Amino acid sequence: MKSKFLMLLLLIGAIGFIAMKKNILDFGPEPTLFTPEALENVLTDLDGNQSTLEEVLNQHKGKTVIVDVWASWCGDCLKGLPKVAEMQANTADSDIQYLFLSVDKEARPWKKAVERKNIQGIHYLVDGAWGSTLGDFLKLDWIPRYLVVQPDGTIGLYKATTADDPAILETAKGTASSK
């Protein structure tokens, strides 16, 4: 009986260890700053110009940025786009910026989806896609993924997985100013 109990404890411990190593379980606080590695991640815009995440965020310093991490092949991402457009309409009188970061592996389907779905905002393709340093920092386990970056560059909301999550607008409106 004792050996069965010990085996069960070992099994539970091993599963917990593996889950933590794979970021399935995370008991730490959500970050409020991007890591240097994530900030160095290269992004490519629709015209093929490359910048780092840090450079892109610095272009919007002083403004609230809602970040949508998505991909053209992601059904949930595409289903969420009308809600994002609604959010954009509801915040049109503010200085909130919308930054779309695609984790597509190739530029062609990403560009086609941006055009076909008429996605309004600032668009970049993440170099390294899902497995990028940004993806690692975000502990991507699902997309779409929404973040709110505050005017001072800190992360006000680290993780939302649906565009209608009220925390997105609550966080964004709490830091945005009117035009």
Q: What is the pLDDT of residues 115-156, one digit of tens each?
A: 999 999 999 999 999 899 999 999 999 999 999 999 999 999
Q: Are residues 54 and 78 in the same domain?
A: yes
Is residue 18 located within the same domain as residue 37? no
Residue 122 CA: distances (Å) to CA of 1, 57, 146: 61, 11, 14
pTM: 0.83
Structure tokens at 29: 């606080």
Strands 122-126 and 97-102: parallel
* Domain range for 141: 31-175
Q: 163 and 149, same structural domain?
A: yes
**Same domain membership, residue 49 and residue 133:** yes
User: Which letter does DSSP use for residue 121 in this model?
Assistant: S
We report the CATH number of the domain holding residue 35 as 3.40.30.10
